[in-house]
Chains A and B, each alone.
Chain A
Amino acid sequence: MQKVLVIDDEKPTLSMFQLFLKAYGYSVYTAESGEKGLEIFEQEKPPLVISDIKMPGMDGIQVLGRIKEMSPHTEVIIITGHGDADLTIRAMELNATDFLHKPIEKNALQNALKRAVERLGILESSEEQIALSSINGTAIVDIQGNINASHEKRLQEIYQEINEQGKTSVLFRFNPNSSVNGTGIAVFIQILSMCRDNGQKAVITGLSENFQKFFHLVGITRMAEIYEAEDQALSRLQEQAG
């Protein structure tokens, strides 16, 4: 049974989490404050942590920082209120892997958990997270898992390869479980702007709803269009190329 730690200053919220997560088959630990949460984290070392961001005393950002310090590969999903865009971005910069908006919807929670567990799976299988292929002259970049600073070099190499192949269009195909943190976003923005400078069309597909919102928030949608379906994205690229 996978261990999950939930940190929230709201007791009612904690008890509801407990119901859900138990029903999903997790072993649930709860903490009412950041300090308490870190204590439990040190004892139990759960691979998955869900933490509220606004808390009296040690808040979610601090908790996230400490956890990432102790165990960088821990999946940390943060809970934010509506309109807390600044806090969301800050959390992502600190390598949070996903986020949930309050009030938390069942599906959003389920998906986030699913993605997190898949990412944990990738980590365990040490599968290649970024791969390059090609369909009809369009470069396809497959991405899964957690994308962070450690992937910068790999992404740069892949882009170089695309350039060498003389591709004029690029499809970034995200696995729905993938998570991009702040540094990952910065790398993406860098590559997308190089694409624009070199006259290459870039589109993105396969992102989870949460990350679509996040990409929109940080302004990536201005550099590359995001499509739900792969066909749509491909036809759009060929349309422009033609």
Chain B
Amino acid sequence: MPRFRDLSLKHKIFLSTAGVVLLFSLSSALMARWILSGYMEQELKTRGVSIAQSIADHSIGHVLTRDRDQLVATIFDAAQLGERRHLVEYVVILDDEQNVLSHTFITPFPDDLRGVNPVQEEQDYSIRSLDKADMQVYDIAVPILEGIYQIGTVRLGLKKEHIEQVARTMNITFGGFTLAVLVVMFVLSYRISLYITRPMQKLTGMADQISRGDLELKTVNGLQPGRDEPCPAITGSYQPCWHVDRLLEAELGDRHLPGKPDYCRDCLADRDKSGDEVQQLADSFNQMVRSVKLYRKRVLESEHKYRSLFESGPVPVFVLDLETFEILDANSSAEKEYGYSRNELVGMEFTRLAPEFPEKLRTHLKQEPQDARIVYNKAIHYYRGNQPIYTNVEGRLSTYRNRDAVIVATTDITEMLEKDAQLIQASKMSDLGQLSAGVAHELNQPLNAIKMGSEFVQMMQQEGQDIPEEQLRQILGEINTQVDRATEIINNLREFGRKSDPGLEETDLNLCVQNVLTIIGQQIKLANIDLDFQPASQPVFIMAHKNRLEQVIFNLVTNARDAVMQKQAQQEPGWTGRIVIFIGISNGQAVLSVQDNGTGMPRSVVDKIFDPFFTTKEVGKGMGLGLSICYGIIQDYQGEIDIQSRENEGTTFRVFFSASDSHAQNSNPKDR
């Protein structure tokens, strides 16, 4: 037998209602019977007593006179009157000696009735139940009184059968009524249980359907959107209702929400407070289904959107397991660029394509554990066939199919880097063009000395004159020195113009500045500018390309020179232009500063100074690429550049690099 709690709600409601009704009916029936039977019996007995008393009153005279005939007539009349004959079994009149004066038996007076129920003095009546084989009666004895004397006794037998008959009739009637009530209650409780449980069954069915993913359901009774329902959130299921869903609040924050349109006054979602609880539940359920539909649709759309972004994105995207770096998914750009099919990629270790990734991620997570985004540039990745390429990498921590994952997008910048290199080269060549006049002057000096020395020797030789040995040694020594000087200038130029190798090398900042100054130092001096070079007392090594670094220094110094010369043109002749180049090291950072007391720049120019093609020089004097390329080069070496400039007072460029490790320790920190 199933336990009660396992029964369905319908049965529970029905059974408990029915049980309570049944219990109540039965108990009330029993109560009624007990109360009514007693009452009826009492009533009949009272009636019997009053009949007996009435007989006693009528028969006083006859008893006194012992008129037996009259007595018989009286008792028969009394016993046979109307309904009494069903009730009265017998009437007997006794004299004061308990002798039978008359009786209604048609047979001889049964002896066993004699003296069974005497009435005591002071008693108005006496009732005794007599159960004999031929009759069951209540014997009622009433004294016949004449004044204060008892002259006889009237005994009346009330048929128990009749009393029981009356009680039975009454019980049957009552029982029938109770039964009828019971049946009605049963039917009613059954209907109620059905009324409650049927919508619930439906809701259960719908919930099951939703669980199975089928949202194309009919709504539970009521709350059907009308044919002309104007709210797009309800009819369309593509647009969320921010008043109900509260989506927009999260998006907008404190900002003002848009006003409600007119149709919101009749909003179905607000109307659902009508009806009983079951109705309300159904309404809420419908709302819920609507919401679920909407969100499911949105999730699908969003999934579709991101899937297509992932798929059709122009850059390769990989989904990696955070622990193992196994590729979980990859898009078609990844297939195309890296040259592997998706089947090959999925399950492959990402480190095969990007060996640097785990280390970069580890470092990032150590340094900034809160930041889910990791970005680094110029990593070397390998396409199919171990073809190396340069990439920019951007990763984001995420989850993928219950696994901690990282989504990585890579951008091939190989071509861009090549273009960069070309641009740097182009700008360098443009610098060289500017240089040529100065270089010509520089080269002319040693050439002049060589030319004059050699021609002097030639002349003396042609004229057959002897050159004193001392003089000859001086001339030859000078020529030698000057050839070396010219060679150095040319070497520096060639070094400067050379295209950089991809690899970084330890480069001494002091030496770079010296090299640049051999090219333009003299020019600066010729322009009557004080040039103060304060090198660090020890070599300051940074990881860089020597000639690119020289390009940066060259640009900074020529800019300083131009700024000073520009100011020189506006000043009194006594004014002295000055450029200070300083190299130092502090806290493991190499610092190069180029300071001038030239024209300086207003804030608006400083802000734009690193923009490509921005120039303050007159047209034709520069491509405007110098500083933007310097900026790029400095960033390549993880360096920083800052500018302090005041109009008419001068400009200071400071460049910071992290000093190369192997030498930073050796350097004296006091070393400026």
A13 contacts B445, C-beta separation under 8 Å: yes
The reply to whether the CB of B475 lies closer than 8 angstroms to some CB of chain A is: yes
Asked whether, in the complex, the Cβ of B526 is within 8 Å of the Cβ of A81, the reply is no
Chain B 430-448 residues near chain A, CB threshold 8 A: 437, 440-441, 444-448
* B453 close to A16 (CB less than 8 A): yes
* Contact A103–B450 (Cβ < 8 Å): yes
Query: What residue of chain B has the Cβ atom nearest to residue A10's Cβ?
Result: B445
Q: Mark A1-22, 1 if CB is under 8 A from B, else 0.
A: 0000000001011011101100
Among B445, B460, B526, residue most surrounded by chain A Cβ atoms (within 10 Å): B445
Nearest-neighbor residue (CB-CB) of B467 within chain A: A19
Query: Closest CB-CB distance, A79 to chain B, in whole Å?
Result: 8
- Asked whether, in the complex, the Cβ of B448 is within 8 Å of the Cβ of A103, the reply is yes
How many of B's residues come within 8 Å of A, CB to CB? Answer: 28
Binds B, one of A54-62, A116-124, A133-141: A54-62
CB distance from B102 to the nearest CB of A (A): 179
In contact, A13 and B452 (Cβ under 8 angstroms): yes
A102 within 8 A of B: yes
Interface hits, B394-440 → A, CB 8 Å: 437, 440
Interface readout for A98-124 with B: 1 if CB under 8 Å, 0 if not?
000011111000000000000000000
Given contacts A15-B478, A23-B459, A23-B460, contact A103 B440 (CB under 8 A): no
Min CB gap A88→B, angstroms: 14
In the complex, A54→B448 CA distance in Å?
14
State how many angstroms separate the Cβ of B339 from the closest Cβ of chain A.
56
User: Which residues 347-365 of B have a CB within 8 angstroms of A?
Assistant: none
Question: How long is the Cα–Cα vector from A59 to B441 in the complex, in angstroms?
Answer: 15
Q: Is the interface of B mostly helix, strand, loop or mixed?
A: helix
Report the interface size for chain A: residues with CB under 8 A from the other chain. 22
Q: Are B526 and A103 in contact (CB under 8 A)?
A: no
Q: How far is the CB of A85 from chain B (nearest CB, A)?
A: 12
Tell me the interface secondary structure of chain A in the complex: loop
In whole Å, how far is B459's beta carbon from the nearest beta carbon of chain A? 6
| B450 in contact with A81 (CB, 8 Å) | no
List, in ascending order, chain B residues with CB within 8 A of A20's CB: 452, 456, 459
Chain B residues positioned under 8 Å from A104 (CB to CB):
448, 451-452
Contacts of A15 in B (CB 8 A): 449, 474, 478
Tell me, in angstroms, the Cα distance from A17 to B458 when the chains sit together. Answer: 15
Bound CA–CA A226/B436 (angstroms): 33
Using known A-B contacts A19-B471, A106-B455, determine if residue A12 contacts B482 with beta carbons closer than 8 Å: yes
Q: List B450-489 residues whose CB lies under 8 Å from chain A.
A: 450-453, 455-456, 458-460, 465, 471, 474-475, 478, 481-482
How many whole Å from A53's CB to the nearest CB in chain B? 10
**Do the beta carbons of A103 and B451 come within 8 Å of each other?**
yes
Q: Residue A82 at the B interface, CB < 8 A?
A: yes
The answer on a CB contact under 8 Å between B451 and A10 is no
Are A103 and B528 in contact, CB atoms less than 8 angstroms apart? Answer: no
Given contacts A16-B453, A19-B475, A103-B447, 4 further A-B contacts (CB under 8 A): A10-B445, A15-B449, A19-B471, A56-B528
A-B contact pairs, 22 of them (CB 8 A): A10-B448, A12-B446, A12-B449, A12-B482, A13-B448, A13-B449, A13-B452, A16-B452, A19-B456, A20-B452, A23-B456, A54-B441, A59-B528, A81-B444, A82-B440, A102-B447, A102-B448, A103-B452, A104-B452, A106-B455, A106-B456, A106-B459
4 pairs of A and B residues whose beta carbons are closest in the complex: A16-B452, A12-B449, A103-B451, A106-B455
Interface residues of B (CB under 8 A from A): 437, 440-441, 444-453, 455-456, 458-460, 465, 471, 474-475, 478, 481-482, 525-526, 528
